[in-house]
Structure formats: C-alpha cells, structure tokens
Amino acid sequence: MGQVFNLPLLLQPGFRVSDRAVFIPLLSCFGRIMSEQMLRAYNISVDFSGLRALDQVTLEVESGEIVGLIGPNGSGKTTLVNVLTGHVRPMAGAVTCSDIDITHMTPRNIALQGISRTFQIVRLFSNLTVSENIEAAAISHGCSRRSARRKAGQLLEKFGLERVRDQFANTLSYGDERRVEIARALAGDPKFLLLDEPAAGMNETESESLLELLACLPSEQKLGMLIIDHDMGLMMRLSHRLHVLASGKTIGEGSVEYVRKLPQVIEAYLGSDGNGR
Amino acid sequence: MLNRQSVLTFFLLIVPILLLPGAVGIMDQRFMQRIATVLCINLILVLGLQVFMGNSGILSFAHIGFMGIGAYTSAVLAMPVRMKSMALPDLYSCLATIELSPILAILIGALVAGLVAALVSYPLMRLSDAAAVITSFALLVVIHTIMVHWSALTNGPRTLFGLKSATNLYLAAGSAVVMVALALFFKESRAGVLLRAVRDDEIAAVGMGAHLSRLRWYGFILSALMAGFAGGLWAHFITSFSPNAFYLKETFVILGMLIIGGSLTVSGAVFGTFAVTIAYELLRFTESSINIAQLFPKPVVGLTEVVLACAMIATLILKPGGIMGAREIGHWNIFRKFFPDKNV
C-alpha cells in the first residue's frame, strides 16, 4: 500500500499546479506506470475546532464498484466526502485518485480529475432550467454547447426527467431535484461518483427505480461509486462493499454479509438488539 | 448555437427598437428624437449591466465609470485638431494631432474601457456578495476621481466641449440591436451558462469544475466594452460633458431600469429601459406642467427620481426578479406553442 503512495508524494512538496492542462501529461505519465483506477483516502484525520470529526480513516473505491458508506448521524460520512472532493482540508492523511495526489487540490481541479458529487442538501442552479443545469456540468468538463445539449438530452431520458426539462430547477419536486442532481453529476463523465443521501426524501417507488438506475451505472460508465444513505435496505442491496463509520472512526468494512454481522457495527448502527432491517 | 427560442427572443426584442425611428419620424419633433436617442444609448448601458449583473448575480456600480472611460477616450481621439488647443490645452502632443472618425473613436473607446476592465478587475472577481458590490463602488469612485483630476485628458472637473455631433438616432438604434444580439449570445454561450450556474450556487458550480473568477472576468470585460461603447455614443451625441455625468445619478437610473425590468434576462433589460424612459418623460412633463400652472405655491422638484426610487423598492418587494422574471420572452409558453423547440 505504501508503495503506491510514494510516487505522487515525492512530487508533492512545493508542487502546486493549479490547472488541468498541466495535470493531463502528469496523469498519463502515472497512468502508464500504474493503470489502476482507484480513489483512495489514506489515514484521513479532520479536526473541527478541537472536535475530531475523522480519525485515521482509510477508504478505497475502485472503478466499477459501489461502496456504501454508513454510520450513525454525526459519524463523519459527509465530512469524508467533503475531504475527497476538496471542500474540507484534512489535518493529516492523503487523498489520491488513480495515483495522483489530490489532497491539496481545489474542489475545481478535483472535479476536473473526474470526481463528481452530489450534496446532502440539494444544490441545484435554481434559475437555470433542468436541461441547463445538466448542460452546465457538461460544459465545465469541456463539452461544446451542442454536445452538452445532446448529453443533457440523454441523461434526462435516462432519469425520466424529460417532462420537466424546460422548468426552472426551483420549481421541482424533491425527488426530481435529487434525480437532476445525480444526472448533473454524471454529465461530466466522472470516474468516481460520490452520492450524499441520493434517496433522501424519496418515496418507496422512487427510491426503488433510483436503485435500479444506480446499480447498473458502474459497469455501464466504468465508474466507482460511493454512496451515503440512511435507507439500510437500499444500501445493503446496492452496495458491493460497506464501510462503517462511528464517531469518526472506521469500525468495520467488507462485504455486506460480513459487515452486518460485526458486533461493533450492530451495536453502533443497527441497534444493540441486532434486529436491524 | 442559439436555439429557436433565443432567435425568437432576439426578433421580439428588436421590434420596439426598430419602431423608434419610425415613431419619431412621424412625430417629427426634435425633442422626441433626443429622447429616443438617449433611450437607445441607455439601453446599451442597461444591456451591458445585464451581461455582468444578470449573469453573475453581482451588482456592479463601476459600470458607469467604464461609460466615462469610453466617452473621454472617444472624445479625445475624435475631437477636431483646432478645437483641441482650446478645449484641452494640456493635451499630450502625441494625441494633440490625432483626429479619427467618430465611429472609429467610439470603437476604440469601447476597447479601452474593456482593456481597463480586464486589467483592474481580475483580482476583484474572486469576491462575492457584499464585498464584491462594495469593491465595485470603490472602483467607481477611483475612476471618477481620476476623471476629475486628469486635466490633460479630461479638462478636469470642468466641461469638455468642442466635439462634433456624430451620433444620430439611426446609429444609436442600430447599435442597440447589435448589443441585444451580443447580450443574448453571451447569455447562451458556454461562459454564459457556467457564469449563471456560479450565480445560482457557487459551491456546486465550482465543485463541478467551473472557474469562478475567470467566468466573472469574461462577463465583466464584455459588460465594460458595452458601457464604453455607449459612453462614446453618448459623448458624440451630447458633445459637451463633465465627469459628473458619469457618477451616481446616472448609475441610479441605469440600475433602476435593470432592476425594474428584471436583471435575469435580456428581455428584462429591454423592457425596463423602455418602461422607465417612458415613465420618466411622462413624469417630467407632469412636473413641468404643474410648475407652469403654479398649482402649488412652490415649484415641484425631483418627482422623477422619487417615483423611480419608489418603483424600484416596489419591484424588489413584490417581484424581486423584476417584471420580466427569469424567462426570456421567446421562451414564454404562448410563443412555444407556435415555435416548438425542434432541438430536442
């Protein structure tokens, strides 16, 4: 594990590159050495004014897999996603994407590396139409206006949003907002997709169809997915692996079957009687 | 690149502008011609402000400053050489012998305004919200102070005179039509879409890869270019002016037009300019009628400003997005029925 880390870290001291153009040759250079597509947070610690939000958490998401990040409220799930996307600077530890050190990159450059996210509280562009919301994401990843429009059309169809394509984003229902945000996150053809509570506020049928959509994304688009959600049923059916946080520490990770039987997980998350859904 | 709705918006918006020369021609009165020309110049200013303020969501006070830069630059370049020794005795010798055609001078004035904007504004574009607004206000004060004190170029706080009149209604209206197209084009361009995304949610937009300060910068430069152009047109219409013409009073009028019409759309800019200009002239007429008839023991003054201010407040309370809201006129449902978007 340490081996993989040394290469990017060697380059790191004083090495501040702020633009994508400089990173593309770097990316292809490393890509040749190790073609492994992996988003990895290594020994991440985060302090919020004395409160330890994350404590030496290591998490890996490989291309093509769905990792479920679960844990009780305040266990640091969203903070970990914020660290991965550069919105929160870790106090210690490193984040790499396909062996490029992205720990100190700005959120913008991380996004351009192909890491895309949605937010716990939906953040849509409220005065843009649904279609424009998705087009904007495609444009920011270098699409022309025309190809962005085409891409938006495809995603709208995929997510069943065609009926609202010309509505402003601030007129949508809650479930539609969530779907638009996921479609927007996909518009830049990300390598890794981080979803923070994608099914929150959706009814049973809606989250069921969302599950079907999300389940086939990794193989279709060759992306790795990290999902946070409180719907345990959904998480257990969707995830290939689970990663459990409690009070900022990893208390278990592995296959769904393995994790749900761990006593510390049962105690911290599912309730001590062990009868979680 | 523009879809059908945007093209339709363009044609609907230029109708009132193209009607102006016709309407004024019928009435054939000099003061009507004057009102219509000023309306077109104001429209260019409002459109310029919409390009930055509407798309970036940041109120810019500096706009009128760039109008001043365009006005003075074009004036210095186009003034007849024999007038220069009188009007600008301290003018630098390299400029004293230059006499360009007014149109060329106006275009150069616009470029200079854009260039100045490009140079000074990049660091400012990282700021958001109140900080950005206050900075733009400070920028207006700086530009104004320079105009007042750079006597060699501006004749100081005194009036600069001696320009030939070159702007007529046709030139102003034609320019306004071009500017409507430019504003619509920018709004629908890649930079425009991303800038509007940044406006609505900075964190989400940057988090998906938008370059916040660069996008705002593009908008600001285009906005300053348009303001500079309007300044040149205005200078060659009014022919004598002082730095005070490019300060708070004009800022307030232009801002009022955009706020009342709706800053989110180009349609709002056009509608606001027409509505406020018409209301303004009617009020001025009322005011002077009242004063001539001596209805009150003392003359009524400032009616226009007070009413404009109240209209601004009312708009912000009742319809914060302005009268036209967030949808361009060509996107309205009535037009959608007749011109369905085939570009699906």
Q: Where are the domains of chain B?
A: 4-244
A31 plus A88 within the same structural domain: yes
Taking only the tens place, the pLDDT of each residue in B182-216 is 999 999 999 999 999 999 999 999 999 999 999 99
Q: Do A117 and B207 touch (CB under 8 A)?
A: yes
Highest mean pLDDT among A6-10, A18-22, A216-220: A216-220
Q: How far is A130 from chain B (nearest CA, A)?
A: 12
Distance CA(A195)–CA(A84), nearest Å, equals 12
pLDDT band for B342, please (50, 70, 90 cuts). low
Tell me whether residues A184 and B200 touch, CB distance under 8 A. Answer: no
The answer to whether the CB atoms of B203 and A166 lie below 8 A apart is: no
Encoded amino acid at B333, one letter: N
- Asked if A98 and A216 sit in the same domain, the reply is yes
- Name the residue type at position A92: A
> What's the distance, Cα to Cα, between the start and end of chain A in Å?
35
Select from A102, A132, A140 the residue whose CB has the most chain B CBs within 10 Å, as the one to mutate to test that interface.
Answer: A140
Mean pLDDT of B255-265: 95
**HSE-CB of B42 using CA atoms within 13 angstroms:** 26
Using a CB-CB cut-off of 8 Å, the residues of chain A touching B341 are 166
Residues A64-84: tens digit of each pLDDT:
999 999 988 889 999 999 999
Question: Does residue A31 fall inside a structural domain?
Answer: yes
**Which of the pair, B129 or B205, is modelled with greater confidence?**
B205
- B10 Cβ partners below 8 Å, 6+ apart? B2, B180, B181, B184, B330
Last residue of a domain, one of A158, A189, A220: A189
Residues in chain A: 277
Residue A88: CATH number of its domain = 3.40.50.300
Q: Which residues pair with A115 in a beta bridge?
A: A192
3-class secondary-structure state, position B257: helix
Q: What ipTM does the predicted assembly reach?
A: 0.88
Asked if the Cβ–Cβ distance from B201 to A168 is below 8 Å, we say no
Q: In this model, does residue B114 exceed pLDDT 90?
A: yes
B195 to chain A nearest CA, in Å? 9
Q: Do A140 and B209 touch (CB under 8 A)?
A: yes
pLDDT at residue A200 in the model: 86
Rounded CA gap, A49 and B48, in Å? 45
pLDDT tens digits along B86-111: 889 888 988 888 899 999 999 999 99
Instruction: Tell me the pLDDT band of A107, cut-offs 50, 70 and 90.
Output: very high
- Chosen for mutation from A139, A168, A186, A192 (greatest number of chain B CBs closer than 10 Å) is A139
More confident residue, B335 or B6: B6
Range of the domain at A185: 115-189
Does residue B174 or residue B3 have the better pLDDT? B174
* DSSP states along A178-240: HHHHHHHHHTT--SEEEEESTTTT--HHHHHHHHHHHHHHHHHHT-EEEEE-S-HHHHHHH-S
CB atoms B193 and A145 under 8 Å: yes
How many domains in chain A? 2
Q: Do A100 and A40 sit in the same domain of this protein?
A: yes
Cβ of B206 and A107 within 8 Å?
yes
Same domain, A101 and A10: yes
| pLDDT value, residue B22 | 83
Please report residues of B whose CB lies closer than 8 A to that of A139. Answer: 190, 193-194
Nearest CA-CA distance, residue A127 and chain B, Å? 7
The answer to whether residue A4 scores a pLDDT higher than 50 is no
Residue A28 bridge partners (DSSP): none
Please check whether residues A95 and A146 belong to one and the same domain.
no
A20 in the same domain as A77: yes
Judge whether A276 lies within some domain. Answer: no
Of A187, A145, A178, A179, which is closest to residue A162 (Cα–Cα)?
A179
Q: Do B196 and A132 touch (CB under 8 A)?
A: yes
From chain B, the residues in CB contact with A144 under 8 A are 190
Contact residues, chain A, for B194 at CB < 8 Å:
136, 139-140
- Of residues B193, B203, B331, nearest to A136 (C-beta): B193
Q: Is the domain of A94 the same as that of A7?
A: yes
A275, part of any domain: no
pLDDT at res. B181:
96
User: Which of A165, A189, A213 finishes a domain?
Assistant: A189
Could you say which of A132, A164, A189 is where a domain stops? Answer: A189
Q: How far is A229 from chain B (nearest CA, A)?
A: 20
Name the pLDDT band for B332 (thresholds 50, 70, 90). confident
Of B194, B264, B341, the CB nearest to A127: B264
Residue of B nearest to A118 (CA): B204
pLDDT of residue A9: 41
Nearest chain A residue to B199 by CA distance is A125
Q: Are residues A167 and A136 part of one domain?
A: yes
Is A232 domain-assigned? yes
Q: Which has more confidence, A24 or A218?
A: A218
- The string of pLDDT tens digits covering residues B48-75 is 999 999 999 999 999 999 999 999 999 9
